[in-house]
Amino acid sequence: MELCEFTEGRAKIEVPKFEKVTAKTPVFYNPKMAFSRDISVSVMNAIKLKESGKVIDGLSGSGIRGLRYILESNSEVYFNDHNPAAARLIERNLKLNSLEAPITKSDFNHVYGKFEVVDIDPFGSPVRFLDGAFRILKNDSYLFLTATDTSALTGAHVSSCKRKYDSKPLKCSFTHELAVRILIGKVARNAAKYNLSVRPILSYTKEHFIRAYFEVKYGKERTNKTLNNLGFAINCKCGYREVTASFIPVCPNCGEKVSFSHPLWISNIKDSKFVSNCVKEYESRDFLNEKPLELLKVVENELDAPLFYDIHELSHIYKVKIPKTEEMIKKLKELGFDASATHFSPVSVKTNADIKDVLRCLNE
């Protein structure tokens, strides 16, 4: 079997030669996801694990993520992959980096032990691995996960989203934010079965994937409060949108029937202070790629207001000239509202202004 060597961060790995990354690739390695792994290393350093904190790279593939955690955040990492070829390759790549670490060849849902960080990075949906994750997470721990089935989460395949996430998606201008909220909502509902609460500390979407990081704590009361953060996202063709705990069948702005997504997470999808710490960690490292840092900075400064307004969409609906995003943000602030750019869309704004005030700014 012909092998290719890659260097990513401080790690070197060898993987079977491939022309295109697919689910059928013998041992999975996606060079494009180095973007995500750069951010993950910053997150790992920002959470300041206890000395006894154990990390499991639950679907290790080539082992690149776990290797980088060891080399760049000094973490105690356990590797797992049910594919024997992957397990052999991880062993080879550990030796290539002069490292030793435990490797198990198990279905992730049958992994044993207790961990302070569980990282799940599957090809597709992470849903079928959630039970396994919550079974092995300690109290006061962290869950990192990726979802690459964005076509389901963004409403291109409604039935797939309903099957996997028990949620109705919605195809609209802010569908990518809804996708993140649907994913977080599913994680929160799954965690509740184990009396665990989850709090998103960082979440973002990029191209074909969503990445979300959660703080996980044990306790029935805390879990009950977490479930109060589930509800509806309402959308109307007049531009009105809102997240709400209770369903609103008619638009308060124009009186027309609304469309909706449900259930999903209606609270904050990040912890701004934590994201700031991730930015500092990223800046303190010798990462070659500045693009993850650019994204982190946008997320850091992104207003904690659910949903966003697509300026192009509103300009088209109301037939007005399209302003620049920066001009719209400036005008909203001049009127006394909070406003920011959003990583979800370069032509959109997040604001605490309602639709009437947003339209007033647009017209002015």
65 labelled binding-site residue: yes
Q: What is the 3-state secondary structure (H, E, C) of the chain?
A: CCEEEEEECCEEEEEECCCCCCCCCCCCCCHHHHHHHHHHHHHHHHCCCCCCCEEEECCCCCCHHHHHHHHHHCCEEEEECCCHHHHHHHHHHHHHCCCCCCEECCCHHHCCCCEEEEEECCCCCCHHHHHHHHHHEEEEEEEEEEECCHHHHCCCCHHHHHHHHCCECCCCCCHHHHHHHHHHHHHHHHHHCCCEEEEEEEEEEECCEEEEEEEEEECHHHHHHHHCCEEEEEECCCCCEEEECCCCCECCCCCCECEEEEEEECCCCCCHHHHHHHHHHHHHCCCCCCHHHHHHHHHHHCCCCCCCEEHHHHHHHHCCCCCCHHHHHHHHHHCCCCEEEECCEEEEEEECCCHHHHHHHHHC
81 labelled binding-site residue: yes
Nearest CA to 323 out of 341, 311, 306 is that of 311
140 labelled binding-site residue: no
107 labelled binding-site residue: yes
37 labelled binding-site residue: yes
251 labelled binding-site residue: yes
238 labelled binding-site residue: yes
Binding residues for S-adenosyl-L-methionine: 37, 65, 81, 107
> Which segments are annotated as binding site for Zn(2+)?
236, 238, 251, 254
Binding residues: 37, 65, 81, 107, 236, 238, 251, 254
